[in-house]
Amino acid sequence: MRGRTAWAAAGGAAVLVLTTATGAHAEGRGDVRVVKTVVNGGGNVIVGIAKTIRYPVDITVKDNSGAKGLTHVSTFNKSSAYTFATWNDDSSCTKKSATTSVCRATLTIDPAWIADSDDINSNTVAGVWQVNATVKANDGDYWISDDIADYKVKRAAQLTTVIAPEKAAKNAKVTVTGKLSRANWEDLKYHGYAGQRVKLQFRKKGAAHYSTVKTVTTGTVGKLTTKVTVTSAGSWRWYFPGTTTTSRKVSAGDTLNLK
């Protein structure tokens, strides 16, 4: 399996640390086991171009002598074994019973470090990731557990909506435009996302919810455009449901008033 690199901070300076993904296995000594793992509260991890993302991994550990804690946590793309997430070797455990504790590790992704973390296009590392961990019991039992949870690390999306004109007579046609873009982890900019199906939604003035009117495919630079017939005043927006590698996104609504 291919090696990968990850950045870690030591003494305030950035240090390049070489790590390698191990083959799938589960081994150790004694009866200590991981019985449940929840990453980021069960949600996707969305990474943009600037904000450092920190997210929890909650690992339920069971042993007849009681769980002591975590000695290793790692995470990486399930297919390529590349990663740009780091664990700072810290965790805390909450005792649930004499035999069971929930231990929390916090993982960190800094977009500024992503492009230097591997020798491939870092955008391809988005998708399904797995978690590995080594757990320890009070009696010295330990267990090396691979692939204890799967979750998705996704590129953040941006989406805009513009109505023109913003005031029109009933039964007139207006143009709704917008743009779908997503984070590029190589140059830390947002680029248009082409060939994606995006839903145009409308909420009548005074209504509580939006309803989908039609679906439009983004153009070569992520642009959206369509014409609609005005039936009433209200707000229009675009809704992108997301993909395995890119986050779901709902644009802010743009209001259309009747003349």
Note the pTM of the prediction, 2 decimals. 0.87
Closest CA to 100 of 148, 59, 47: 59
| pLDDT given for residue 27 in this prediction | 85
Instruction: Report whether 237 contacts 226 (CB < 8 A).
Output: no
Between 81 and 12, the more confident residue is 81
Q: Using the Cα atoms of residue 240, residue 244, residue 246 and residue 248 in order, give the sign of their dihedral.
A: positive
Neighbours of 86 (CB within 10 A): 21
Rounded CA-CA distance 238/196 in Å is 12
Closest CA to 161 of 194, 195, 200: 200
User: Given a cut of 90, is residue 10 above it in pLDDT?
Assistant: no
Give the model confidence (pLDDT) of 15-46 as tens digits. Answer: 222 233 334 456 899 999 999 999 999 999 99
| pLDDT given for residue 9 in this prediction | 29
Delineate the domains of the chain, giving CATH numbers in brackets: 3-154 (2.60.40.10), 157-258 (2.60.40.730)
Where does residue 78 rank: exposed (0-12), middle (13-18), buried (19+ CB within 10 A)?
middle
Rounded CA-CA distance 83/126 in Å is 9
Mean of pLDDT values over 216-237? 97
User: Given a cut of 70, is residue 117 above it in pLDDT?
Assistant: yes
Give the model confidence (pLDDT) of 182-194 as tens digits. Answer: 999 999 999 999 9
User: Given a cut of 80, is residue 8 above it in pLDDT?
Assistant: no
| pLDDT given for residue 25 in this prediction | 54
Residue 57: strand pairing partners: 39, 105
pLDDT band at 118 (very low <50, low <70, confident <90, very high): confident
Mean of pLDDT values over 105-125? 96
| pLDDT given for residue 17 in this prediction | 29
